[in-house]
Structure 1
Amino acid sequence: MIVTERQITGLSQAVIADLVAELGPVWQAGCDAELLDRPRRRAVGAGAKYRLVFVDRLLATLVHLRHGVTHDVLACWFGVDRSTITRAVGEVRPLLAERGCRIESGVRLRTLADVIAHLGATGQTGIIDATGIRVRRPAAHRAGRNRFVSGKSRMNAMKALVVTDARGRVLFCGEVRAGSVADITQVRDAGYQGLAARTYGQVVTPPGKRRGKNLEHLQWLMAHHEQARFAHSSRRMPVEHGIAHLKNWRTLARHHGRRDRLPDTIRAVAGLLSDQQCCQQRELKMLPTGSTA
């Protein structure tokens, strides 16, 4: 039922099948390595069996990411204890985060450096922006309690950089910082200053402010600046659409868990969204000419 209903996981059956085939052996290898790290007290195959197989663990994690469902509800749904769901999400989420964002060629982009190299090799345009994700405020009387307060949105948040192509498909999402950090500072902290110049215009950045002393010249500069801002805002709409698709996953609309787990959650959702976007693009190419999806 969960696999066949895309509204539940946000992914098609083909994408889920690929995830099972890709991550199942990795998860099993991790379990085997954990058993080998300590002296064995039982024979191979002895002991309690998992009540939640890997496929169910993956589906529980997908539902949690897509709808923000609590572990208690998922435990009732799958007929296991809450701690089992917590452990399953904790095991699967890092595996999803490590995959990176997929592009049409099947290559995965895991860092900003990978994105810049991809844009330079293909000549495509990348659009960059930051999005705030609401988080819990640190407890009272703790140091750094105010550093998560965003001066723009007036809420406790953490920011993530988002890079999409000209069609709004996600290429990267990460480099998470506290909400009080400005967008441009976040980009500089990531190690990329002067992105527009370094990529020969392949990364779209906001136009700089125009200043002047002469009144007539200043008015002309302001009018020119407004035109440049309007043209820039029109070009950056794809990244806004990409952010909207990310926020459709409720765990990114408002994060109720621990803040130190948010980076993995963001990267996991970005990778899953890119998988679904590539799958949709592949299905469109398979349609007969002149037909619509």
Structure 2
Amino acid sequence: MVGNASRAAIINDRKITGLSADVIAELVAELGPLWLDRHEARLAARQRKRAIGAGAKHRLVFVDRLLATLVHLRHAVTHDVLACWFGVDRSTITRAIAEVRPLLAERGCTISPNVRLRTLAEVVDHLGASGKTGIIDGTEIRVRRPAAGRKDRDKFISGKSKQNAVKTVVLTDGDGRVLFCSPAQHGSCADNTHARQLGLVRLLDGGPALAILADAGCQGLGAQTGGRVVTPPHRKFKKNAPDWYEEMHERQRKARSSRRIRVEHGIAHLKNWRALARHLGRREHLSDMVQAVAGLLSHQQTADLTSAQQM
């Protein structure tokens, strides 16, 4: 395990974990008891020959387990390297990350010190109550090609990038703060189909009055949600368009892009966590990874905003 000096260096250097020391302290205080409860429940769930707590003690305390998970998500560091760094076996790191990652994914996105959004329904209610505009977009994460002969192998091929990928839907507010990140879906799924599967149409149809900006990949959702999803209009002239129409179309396109660029910034902040830039591990872990990173990023954004307002 790492020494106190090395642990302090990891916590105090934001470039290593992507989080400030105050945010890491809050994570330890919040997740430590949850991890301990789940660990003890797992031990008590089976018949035992020895009492709980007997035998060898943990060489990797919870703080180190959390730090290893953060470094893995931030820099996509392999488990072998982390094992050397923390002075434990590779299997210990793998088990630690598998235990901490779901805890991070379940936290949701932080929009204020005491408010978190965990579901799309909560995000819609928040936007409706606050009167803010939401911005939605899909993003892809490259993954390894599934093994030959595997069922539904071709579903991971993205029609957009022509590569094996999974897709997630990101929803931010007008300032680019991440409010929601969906579980990962196979890369061949269209953006509007993914949004429907998440229940966006059901939540907006007859729901609170709000506007969610989307790109052309969500065409059709506007009519199904009473105009609450705003998508670019279809081109009236595909060939030989008049000059006045081209001018108007270009002006409208730039105006929409300048408003929607915030969600692209939010996605870029997510992709700064290298585990989401390209994933080389198991695809079934990606949903937890995406939602864990979204929760961590939103927590740090809220902490930075609160600190700036207090200055």
Q: Report the TM-score when normalising by structure 2.
A: 0.86
Superposed CA RMSD in Å reads 2.2
Secondary structure of the 2:200 match is coil
The answer to whether residue 161 in structure 2 is matched with residue 153 in structure 1 is yes
Q: Does 1:245 align with 2:269?
A: yes
- Which AA in structure 1 matches 2:271? K
User: Quick one: distance in 2 between partners of 1:214 and 1:85?
Assistant: 59
Q: Which residue does 1:291 correspond to in 2?
A: none
Q: Which amino acid is the alignment partner of residue 135 of structure 1? A: V
Query: In the alignment, which residue of structure 2 is the partner of 1:25?
Result: 33
- Equivalent pair of 1:61/1:92 in contact (CA under 8 Å): yes
Query: Which residue does 1:112 correspond to in 2?
Result: 120
Instruction: Specify whether residues 79 and 196 from structure 1 end up closer, same or farther in structure 2 by C-alpha distance, changes over 3 A only.
Output: same
Q: Please tell me whether residue 142 in structure 1 is matched to residue 158 in structure 2.
A: no
**Which residue pairs with 1:211 in the alignment?**
236
Structure 1: 5+ residue stretches without partners: 288-293
Whether 2:299 is the aligned partner of 1:271: answer no
- Residue of 284, 287, 297 corresponding to 1:260: 284
* 1:132 counterpart SS class: strand
1:163-202 superposed matches below 5 A: 163-193=171-201, 200-202=209-211
- CA-CA distance at 1:197 after TM superposition: 8.9
**What CA distance in whole angstroms lies between the structure 2 residues aligned with 1:45 and 1:78?**
23
Give the superposition deviation at 1:221: 5.4
CA-to-aligned-CA distance 1:234-258 (integer Å, 9 cap, x gap): 1001101000000000000001111
Q: Which residue of 1 aligns with 2:94?
A: 86
CA distance in structure 1 between the aligned counterparts of 2:178 and 2:104, rounded to whole angstroms: 15
Q: Residues 57 and 105 (structure 1 numbering): CA distance in 2 closer, same or farther, change over 3 Å?
A: closer
Q: How far, CA to CA, are the matches of 1:189 and 1:222 in structure 2?
A: 35
- Aligned-pair CA distance for 1:204: 1.1
Contact 2:20 2:300 in 1 (8 A): yes
Aligned residues between the structures: 286
Query: How much does 1:232 deviate?
Result: 1.0
Task: Name the CA shift for 1:40/1:144 in 2 (closer, same or farther; >3 Å).
Answer: closer
Q: Is residue 282 of structure 1 aligned with residue 303 of structure 2?
A: no
Distance 1:76 1:31 in 2: 24
Counterpart CA distance in 2 for 1:232 and 1:133 is 25
Change (3 A) 1:215 1:66: closer
1:131–1:243 contact (8 Å) kept in structure 2: yes
Cα distance between partner residues in 1 of 2:299 and 2:239? 53
Q: 2:10, 2:125 → 1: CA distance?
A: 38
Residue 183 of structure 2 contacts residue 290 of structure 2 at CA under 8 Å; is this kept in 1? no
Of 51, 54, 75 in structure 2, the residue corresponding to residue 67 of structure 1 is 75
Counterpart of 2:107? 99
Q: Which amino acid aligns with 1:244?
A: A
Identity of matched residues, %: 61
> Does the CA-based 8 Å contact 1:57-1:92 persist in structure 2?
yes
